[in-house]
Structure 1
Amino acid sequence: MPPAPAIAPAKLALGALLFRDPRLSQRQTVSCNSCHDLGTNGASNRNFDVAQNGGALRMNTLTVFNAALNYRFNWRGRRETFERFTAQVLDDPALMGAANGVAVARLRRDPAMVARFRAVYGRHIDEAALVDALAAYQRSLVTPGARFDRWLAGDDRALSAQERRGYARFKALGCVSCHQGVNVGGNLMQRHGVFHPIGSADPVLVRVPSLRNVAATAPYFHDGSAPTLRHAVRAMGRAQLDLALSPQDVDDIVAFLGTLTGTYQGRPIRPPAPGSRR
């Protein structure tokens, strides 16, 4: 896990404020943090989060933690940089819906915010600076400290025998073919439901999600159709490998996946409280 990039403290503080600011949405009802809760798992516990217009999003919310380590963004992989992705989220009426400079105009009426932007960018608030501050902040959201990383670095006591066995099965069964690299995924597009359907059929191709912090980010898949990690592991075995995984394999792989949980600001990544709905 690489360290977070060096970002000027004033820009980081500005991005943190903007990430939690509902003025960036058309109806001023949601912020980035409404769906990507940094106090818990960087996502939520819903199958589909609710957009600023009150409608349900079309796909399950991916965690924003470690998203900077992905090569493309969102399930369809249509955005190649954080800047393009952030601009699209701000403009899309199904998401934040603050197109045509609506968010910028609101922020310009806030003298404190104007002063912050001028201190960081040396100019008045504009769309480019807004997007840059948000993108920079999101790049800082990495979660070091996973036990798997410690084990890879040579700490033989970081993983239990079951967790090591799960990692061996993860590789032997072929899970690692898609879930590999520094983010244990997030770096290629893949067809889902190769042998059997898995959740909704659309889209056919999805960006393989990262498995970092996966034990804390239920529900799973692009449609949130797997409520638990055990459900997800069994479903992936059948859909992608045409295998009915044994209970032992499922337990071992789930145990291994639990070692991918890192920390943010010194706290372990955790799921939202059961039954909570933000």
Structure 2
Amino acid sequence: MAASSVPALRALSADARHPVLPLPPQPALDRTRVAIGERLFADPRLSLHGRISCQSCHDVATSGASPWRLDKGDDGSPMQLNTPTVFNSTLNFRFTWTGRILSAPDMIAASLRNPHVMGGDGPGIERLRRDSVFAAQVRAAYHRELDERATIDALTLYLRSLTTPNARFDRWLAGDAKALTPQEQRGWARFQSVGCVSCHQGVNVGGNLFQRHGIFHPLASPDPAILRVPSLRNVMTTAPYFHDGSAPDLSSAVLSMARAQLDITLSPRDVADITAFLKTLTGTYEGRPVQAPRR
């Protein structure tokens, strides 16, 4: 995330009374440049061989991710880690599972240049420059030809537009007592009491700290050992779970996480209640609930 947005996130940080907070309003964005970013995001011509687009792995028509354990890059090789969702991603404090990338522009640049992801930025950008209609849109918005800097800027603005407000849990936090069922409220209480909220808190219900996985018992593949805690927003829609995509469904992920990270064996009722609560974190995008992709 850009450095200028960090103070705003600090103002939305969790505390003991309010460990999770509703999504903030979407920032004001240049909609013309956002539209260019949306076009770039979905255009396979941006990749070296024209095989994939950002949308190929981060499907914003569904979960903002994909249903596969490991997606394939432009060179046809599998990614090293499971694809995280792009929804609400600019509210995380770091990017990628390892958190080694500090800002959205840096993350986009790394993806464009990575030979195993988009294959390199140069040929794709040159290919798009030859589209006279699109080139005219870029000149009107940026007052220059499409280049790497404009590409990264437009994609960054588009990512910042990918927020999913109006989750039922957010409505409940805002005072709508009927937004959650009794089971979902039990799940929220249990989520807090067993310690899940210690890592999954803040405005993104995660995404704001690092943690070692497999503290008490092994969990998924051992490497990398330290991960950025993922956001749980829209988690119902983003199976499979964990950095290696090894948990096929939400209930098994909840059970495994409690044992591995907290040394707790949850009862079937606890698993059902916590899972029910997690489903209330599903927000809306373009006026409809975020959906799980079909295989």
Q: TM-score, normalised by structure 2?
A: 0.91
| One-letter amino acid of the structure 2 residue matched with residue 236 of structure 1 | M
| One-letter amino acid of the structure 2 residue matched with residue 82 of structure 1 | A
Residue 118 of structure 2 aligns with which residue?
Answer: 96
**Residue 127 (structure 1) aligned to one of 115, 136, 148:** 148
Counterparts of 1:139 and 1:221, CA distance in 2 = 24
Give runs of aligned pairs for residues 14-25 of structure 1, distance below 5 A: 14-25=36-47
Counterparts of 1:108 and 1:16, CA distance in 2 = 16
**Residue 210 (structure 1) aligned to one of 209, 218, 231:** 231
Give runs of aligned pairs for residues 131-210 of structure 1, distance below 5 A: 131-210=152-231
Note if 1:84 corresponds to 2:115: no
Note if 1:262 corresponds to 2:286: no
Residue 134 of structure 2 aligns with which residue?
Answer: 113
**Residue 56 (structure 2) aligned to one of 34, 38, 48:** 34
Residue 69 of structure 1 aligns with which residue?
Answer: 91
Residue 261 of structure 2 aligns with which residue?
Answer: 240
Residue 222 of structure 1 aligns with which residue?
Answer: 243
| One-letter amino acid of the structure 1 residue matched with residue 105 of structure 2 | E
Offset of residue 4 of structure 1: 1.8
Counterparts of 1:36 and 1:174, CA distance in 2 = 30
Counterparts of 1:125 and 1:215, CA distance in 2 = 38
| One-letter amino acid of the structure 2 residue matched with residue 44 of structure 1 | S
What SS does structure 1 have at the residue aligned with 2:227? strand
Work out whether residues 50 and 124 of structure 2, in 8 Å CA contact, stay in contact via their aligned partners in 1.
no
What SS does structure 1 have at the residue aligned with 2:107? helix
Moved over 2 A (4+): none
Work out whether residues 219 and 260 of structure 2, in 8 Å CA contact, stay in contact via their aligned partners in 1.
yes
Q: In the comparison of the two structures, how many residue pairs are matched?
A: 273
Offset of residue 233 of structure 1: 0.3
Work out whether residues 38 and 155 of structure 2, in 8 Å CA contact, stay in contact via their aligned partners in 1.
yes
| One-letter amino acid of the structure 1 residue matched with residue 143 of structure 2 | G
What SS does structure 2 have at the residue aligned with 1:194? coil
| One-letter amino acid of the structure 1 residue matched with residue 76 of structure 2 | G
Deviation per CA, 1:35-63, whole angstroms, max 9, x where unpaired? Answer: 00011100010000111111111100000
Offset of residue 6 of structure 1: 1.3
In structure 1, runs of 5+ residues without a counterpart are none
Offset of residue 111 of structure 1: 1.4
Note if 1:54 corresponds to 2:76: yes
Residue 26 of structure 2 aligns with which residue?
Answer: 4
Offset of residue 98 of structure 1: 1.8
Task: Provide the identity percentage.
Answer: 58
Offset of residue 92 of structure 1: 0.3
Offset of residue 34 of structure 1: 0.3
| One-letter amino acid of the structure 1 residue matched with residue 52 of structure 2 | V
Deviation per CA, 1:187-214, whole angstroms, max 9, x where unpaired? Answer: 1111000011101000000000000000
Q: Which deviates more, 114-123 or 209-218?
A: 114-123
| One-letter amino acid of the structure 1 residue matched with residue 206 of structure 2 | G
| One-letter amino acid of the structure 2 residue matched with residue 205 of structure 1 | I
| One-letter amino acid of the structure 1 residue matched with residue 151 of structure 2 | L
Q: TM-score, normalised by structure 1?
A: 0.97
**Residue 231 (structure 1) aligned to one of 248, 252, 256:** 252
What SS does structure 2 have at the residue aligned with 1:260? coil
C-alpha RMSD of the superposition? 0.8
Counterparts of 2:97 and 2:211, CA distance in 1 = 10
What SS does structure 2 have at the residue aligned with 1:252? helix
In structure 2, runs of 5+ residues without a counterpart are 1-22
